[in-house]
Every structure is written in C-alpha cells, then in structure tokens.
C-alpha cells in the first residue's frame, strides 16, 4: 500500500505501524510523488491525506480513478483534518472508499485498512478461510485445523496474500510487489526463501505441500476442502 502525507513524521509513523502488521508500505510526501509511484506500482490501498501543497489529495484521488492511471484500481482511504459533512461528501464523490478524520487512533486506521482489503478478498469478516487454514487478520492469528502456526510478520503477510488469491498462480514478481515494499531487491532470493519457510510450516506430516511451485511461473496455494468435507464444500476467502 501507499501512505501519502506531507507531514513527514505522521506519514512515517503510519507506515511504520502498518509495516509492523505485515503490510508492504511505500511512502510519498506529496501529491506529485504519489502520482509517480501510483503510475509505477500496483497498490492495493492508498492512505491519502487531502490537504497538501501543490497537488492535493482530492486531485490525486480523481487521477487514481481516471482510466489507465493506476494499475489494479487501489482502494483509497482519505486521512484528513477536514471533518465537515461537505468535505466528507466531496472526498467520497472524488472516488474515495472511506474517510478517517485526524487525529485518529492507529487501531481504528488498522481496522479500516482491514475492512477495505476484505472488500477485494470477498469476505465480510476479519477471518479468511481456505480449507482447514484460518487467518484472523484482526488478532494476527494463523491456524491450520486446531494447530496454531508460528509465523513471522512477513510469513503472515505472505500467507494472507496467498489465501486471498487461493488457486491462482502468483509469480515471484507479483509477490515481491504486494508483500514487500519498494526497497526490496528484486534480484535477491528473498521470495523463494520466505515461501520455502512458510511452506514447511503449513505442511502436515505425510501430506503434500499446500504451496505448490509451478515451474517457470511461480507459486500457488492449493484449495483443499476441510477434513470431512467434499470438494464442493471448500471454504474460500471467508465464504462457504
């Protein structure tokens, strides 16, 4: 995701908090820099301040919603000190998906981020389910059946992305773009190593790995039914 705010300390603090929760976060300190990064990167979410010198947040939001600018059409969460009804309506009319008034508590920001990302994942709760895998994004808890998974923050973020794209083949480049930030070195083996450690933590004794390597293409999280369920009963992305 991208955090945009001309208040450097606030932008850095928000980004730091979101990174602690396992998100890949880039930062822009103005509207022009934000538009440059949005043109280059496929963001899932933009946390966007309205009041900035030069290109303000409303203009950035309109540009994001214009055809062809933003790959993947990210969700937009407005962060602003403007709390009047007219300001909120104007921001939503510009294309924002949600609106959070400053000053705000970080837990509320975090909850709104989870809510917006769940819209794309197709689930209305904080719990994502694929087969016997469960991921509680609010409590940062991962389970396979009755077994709690001991995951690092990056492994948790990687599993979250796999589970919201279960059955899809995800290239190393896609994973690097959505789970790591812009400072990640694309020439390192960090994706391969992290996928490998996550795969080992997910596998049960005597079973095939849940994460498959598709040679020449990337990786895929297999969609398995829960134990005792038929193939048509697989739970995916929080829905049965």
Cis peptide before 66 (omega within 30 of 0): no
pLDDT value of residue 125:
60
pLDDT digit string, tens, across residues 169-184: 999 888 888 888 767 7
Q: Is there a contact between 55 and 30 (Cβ–Cβ < 8 Å)?
A: yes
Instruction: Name residue, tokens 């040679």.
Output: 215
pLDDT digit string, tens, across residues 200-216: 998 866 577 889 999 98
DSSP letters for 170-215:
B-HHHHHHHHS-TTS-TTSSHHHHHHHHHHHHHPPTTSPPSEEEET
All domains of the chain, ordered by start, with CATH?
Answer: 2-121 (3.40.50.2300), 127-233 (1.10.10.10)
For the entire predicted model, the pTM comes to 0.63
pLDDT value of residue 239:
36
What percent of the chain is predicted at pLDDT more than 70? 85
pLDDT value of residue 234:
35
Question: Is residue 142's pLDDT more than 70?
Answer: yes
Picking from 163, 164, 111, the residue whose alpha carbon sits closest to that of residue 139 is: 111
pLDDT digit string, tens, across residues 55-95: 999 999 988 888 656 556 789 999 888 777 777 788 788 88
Picking from 233, 149, 231, 72, the residue whose alpha carbon sits closest to that of residue 158 is: 149
Picking from 113, 236, 111, 84, the residue whose alpha carbon sits closest to that of residue 168 is: 236
């Amino acid at each position: 995701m991208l955090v945009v705010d001309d208040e450097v300390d606030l932008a850095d603090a928000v980004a730091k908090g979101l990174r602690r929760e396992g998100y890949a976060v880039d930062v822009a300190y103005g509207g022009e820099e934000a538009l440059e990064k949005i043109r280059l990167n496929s963001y899932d979410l933009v946390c966007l301040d309205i009041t900035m010198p030069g290109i303000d947040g409303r203009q950035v939001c309109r540009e994001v919603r214009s055809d062809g600018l933003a790959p993947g059409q990210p969700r937009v969460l407005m962060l602003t000190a403007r709390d009047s009804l007219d300001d909120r309506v104007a921001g939503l009319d510009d294309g924002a998906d949600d609106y959070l008034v400053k000053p705000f508590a970080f837990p509320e920001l975090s909850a709104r981020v989870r809510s917006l990302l769940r819209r794309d994942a197709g689930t209305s709760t904080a719990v994502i389910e694929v087969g016997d895998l469960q991921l509680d994004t609010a409590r940062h808890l991962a389970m396979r059946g009755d077994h709690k998974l001991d995951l690092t923050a990056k492994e948790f973020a990687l599993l979250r992305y796999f589970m919201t794209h279960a059955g899809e083949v995800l290239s190393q480049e896609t994973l690097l773009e959505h789970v790591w930030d812009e400072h990640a070195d694309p020439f390192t083996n960090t994706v391969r190593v992290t996928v490998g450690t996550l795969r080992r933590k997910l596998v049960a004794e005597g079973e095939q790995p849940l994460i498959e390597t598709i040679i020449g293409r990337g990786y895929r999280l297999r969609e398995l039914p829960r134990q005792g369920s038929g193939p048509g009963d697989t739970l995916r992305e929080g829905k049965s």
